Structure 1
Amino acid sequence: MQTMKISVAMAAYNGEAYIREQLDSIAKQTLLPDELVITDDSPDRLTEDAINAFKVTSPVRIDYYRNETRQGFPENFFKAIGLCKGELIAFADQDDVWMPRKLELMTAQFADPEVMLVTHKVTIVDSQLKVKEDLDDNHWSYVGTFEPLQTDPWYLLFGMSAMVRGALFRVTDLKVRPLDFSRDGLASHDMWAWFMGGALGKIVGLPDKLALYRQHAVSVVGAPKQSSLAARIAYSIKTGRSHYDKMASISHDRAKVLSQVTQPDLAARARAAETFYMVLYQQNADRASLYAPEKTLIERASAGLRLLRKAGYRPQAQGGFGLKALFKDLFLFLLVRRVA
């Protein structure tokens, strides 16, 4: 018996070509959601027309909202999530297709009150839903149940494969969320879900392929020009420093967000996660120092020793940089002042 209300959040934009297939697959779920919330960023009415045609026979309640001004993908999705009323929220992209038991299998995992996020594997297909044999979802490596802070905090989640507790989006002010480390702007909804889910509870990764993940045309990029070894090393030093400075800042901001979580059932885990991200802040700041040519040799060596003492090169799944990073840093440490 279903005891928790289920919402599906979808952010639409020029989705008329494929959205009907996705809507039909949601309507065929063995466990139907209580609502499907769609926020539409499209400049025309074509996506809305496709949704209205689906509504005629839909067994699912549809709450449709057309944005007066374009929100952009991240904010459009956050708007949809904010309008959801369910205790559980599944993210839906407009151009994928769900397997019939997706919601049923995912919802069952939330019988454990400590589970905050559930996700699954996917089948990668082309625009015509034909399996792309040259691609797979090895990007997704988590299968099983993982305790808080036992997954890579910087993992890039396939948002369309996730279901979360709605509480993850209600514990703090989302307008002041941390930056996204993979692009410009604030953290996306799926990055937020992985961050907060892994900090405040368990994450479950199902082995089942429960969605067809549609890939559109791929852009062709020309081959880069060849450059000298010294030029490549100098570029690695420059980008390395800016990257770790950014990651230090994001780690600090994540700790600040967690400090604002005061709900009695989540406060203890939030404090532990806050400490965890402050450690990541210091480790990223130290690693940035290794790549800073204006630092003295002693300052850079001290930063490296701190990283070693504080297990900064532990596995990435535990928030560290990994063993390969240690060898890279040892190599570049000797070259920073020479080529930077």
Structure 2
Amino acid sequence: MKDIAILLATYNGREYLRQQLDSLFKQTRQDFRLVIHDDGSTDGTAEIIKEYLEEYPERIEVFYGGSCGGAKENFLWMLDRVEADYYLMCDQDDVWFPEKLERSMETMVEAEDELAKLESIEVLPVCVFTDMMVTDDKLNVISDSFIRYIGRNPANIAYTQIIIDNPAAGCTMCFNRRLRDLVISLTPMIDSDNIPMHDALILEIAAIMGKVVPIDAPLVYYRQTGHNTMGAVTESDGDKANRNLEDIKGGSFFEKKRAFVNESRLFASELLVADWLPKDKKNVLMRFAKIGEKGKIKRMSFYAKNNFSRARHNLWFRLWV
């Protein structure tokens, strides 16, 4: 039997934590263990965790203490300490659909089997992700697609797209041991401040070294509480036009656009320390990290040739950065 670990990072999540935990233990597939790391909660979260630990003593493992400083650091900390065949991550204030785990694992096994037939070598890194329904704090639905709500496209899964326009949230991901091993081999060598989030790092490595598989269906309720680490933010075309106009008037338009892509270039620079990167992809990432030094025509040609593209607002990206 395969060992499936669901990683849950908690911090002062008392208000919504029970709903998330109940949704996990109502999954149609129950062959998982839950690993929780509490990052120093002071609101009664630890007491709720203790209650569920007493109810499911064989299913739950808890790490206390060792404050990590944020969701990114917390999940990477757990990944380094938890041994399993497959990993999923969940957030304390969301709610999973009952079939979330089952569909994720079915898609994962299918992808691994397809790769095994094609490659006939060791298991390759695979990451599956799903969409989510965006809700308010009472679980009233705001949007039936988190990915599209934030202006992304679930089909944009090339490594040159993910590095600038990651479509996946970590709390929807399911990935295999091979991918986890690559991630934790890299984290001691990189500056985490230059990594957007743990989900971007995991998905980028999967796209470079193996396979990314989207499930274009919502399988999680993503609760907007006002305290999310990375909230679901959207804006109309009119709002965006007005914001850009104000930025142009204020002289910050191009500065903001370049800053956005410079974050992606720093991300690429960190990935270059991995000695297992394929030579061709490493060369593309190396050139991307330094492309700002080139003229506009060379930048545009490089982006087009290597499929550096966004789901939306691609024109300004290609023209100016």
TM-score normalised by length of structure 2: 0.77
Question: Residue 234 of structure 2 corresponds to which residue in structure 1?
Answer: none
Contact 2:296 2:319 in 1 (8 A): no
1:210 alignment partner AA: L
Over residues 229-269 of structure 1, what are the superposed CA-to-partner deviations in whole Å (9 max), with x where a residue is unaligned? Answer: 8753x323444455554443332222223xx22xxxxx6xx
Note the 1:127-206 alignment, pairs <5 A: 127-132=137-142, 137-138=147-148, 139=150, 140-143=152-155, 149=159, 151-156=161-166, 157-171=168-182, 172-179=185-192, 186-206=195-215
Residues 118, 203 of structure 1: 8 Å contact kept: yes
CA contact (8 A) 1:245 1:285 kept: no
TM-score (norm 1): 0.73
User: Matches of residues 29-44 of structure 1 in structure 2 within 5 Å?
Assistant: 29-44=27-42
Q: Which of the residues 250, 265, 275 maps onto 2:267?
A: 250
In structure 1, the partner of 2:297 is: 305
Write the distance in 2 (CA, Å) between the matches of 1:246 and 1:88. 30
Which one-letter code corresponds to 1:23 in the other structure? L
Q: Distance in 2 between matches of 1:60 and 1:142?
A: 36
Checking the alignment, whether the CA contact within 8 Å between 2:134 and 2:145 is kept in structure 1 is: yes
Deviations along 1:205-241, one digit per CA (max 9) or x if unpaired, are 112211111111389xxx9999988753x32344445
Larger helix proportion, structure 1 or 2?
Answer: 2
Q: Residue in 2 aligned with 1:297?
A: none
Q: CA RMSD in A?
A: 3.5
Give the number of the structure with larger relative contact order, counting CA–CA contacts within 8 Å between residues 6 or more apart.
2
**Alpha-carbon distance, 1:273 to partner:** 2.6
Largest Rg, 1 or 2: 1
What letter corresponds to residue 11 of structure 2 in structure 1?
Y
Equivalent position to 1:74, from 63, 72, 75: 72
Structure 1 position 117, deviation (Å)? 0.6
- The aligned length equals 292
Gaps of at least 5 residues in structure 2 are 116-124, 232-238
- In 1, Cα distance between equivalents of 2:217 and 2:64: 34
User: Which amino acid is 1:48 matched to?
Assistant: A
Structural mapping, 1:53-72, within 5 Å: 53-58=51-56, 61-69=59-67, 71-72=69-70
Determine helix, strand or coil for the equivalent of 1:216.
Answer: coil
The CA distance in 2 between the partners of 1:106 and 1:135, in whole Å, is 17
Question: Which of 26, 35, 40 does residue 28 from structure 1 map onto?
Answer: 26
What secondary structure, in the 3-state scheme, does the structure 1 residue paired with 2:98 have?
Answer: coil
1:290-301 to structure 2, matched below 5 A, reads none
Q: Which residue of 212, 216, 238 maps to 1:207? A: 216
Query: Pick from 82, 88, 95: which aligns with 1:97?
Result: 95
Q: Kindly tell me: are residues 155 and 12 of structure 1, through their superposed partners in 2, closer, same or farther at Cα, counting changes over 3 Å? A: same
- Report deviation, 1:108: 1.2
Q: Tell me, in whole angstroms, the C-alpha distance in 2 between the residues paired with 1:53 and 1:227.
A: 53
Task: State percent identity of aligned pairs.
Answer: 20
Deviations 1:253-308 (A, max 9, x none): 22223xx22xxxxx6xx33331221232233443xxxxxxxxxxxxxxxx123224
Instruction: Judge conservation of contact 2:35–2:61 (CA < 8 Å) in 1.
Output: yes
Any conservation in 1 of the 2:104–2:128 contact (CA below 8 Å)?
yes
Instruction: Tell me the equivalent position of 1:275.
Output: 283
Distance (Å, rounded) in 2 between the aligned partners of 1:159 and 1:132? 20
Distance (Å, rounded) in 2 between the aligned partners of 1:154 and 1:226: 19
Matched residue of 1:36: which SS? strand
Structure 1 position 163, deviation (Å): 1.0
Secondary structure class of the residue paired with 2:74: helix
CA deviation vs aligned residue, 1:127-154 (integer Å, no higher than 9, x gap): 122212598541352159x6x6374322
Contact 1:11–1:94 (Cα < 8 Å) also in 2: yes
d(CA) in 1 for partners of 2:188, 2:8: 20
| Structure 1 unaligned residues grouped into runs of 5+ | 262-266, 287-302, 330-340
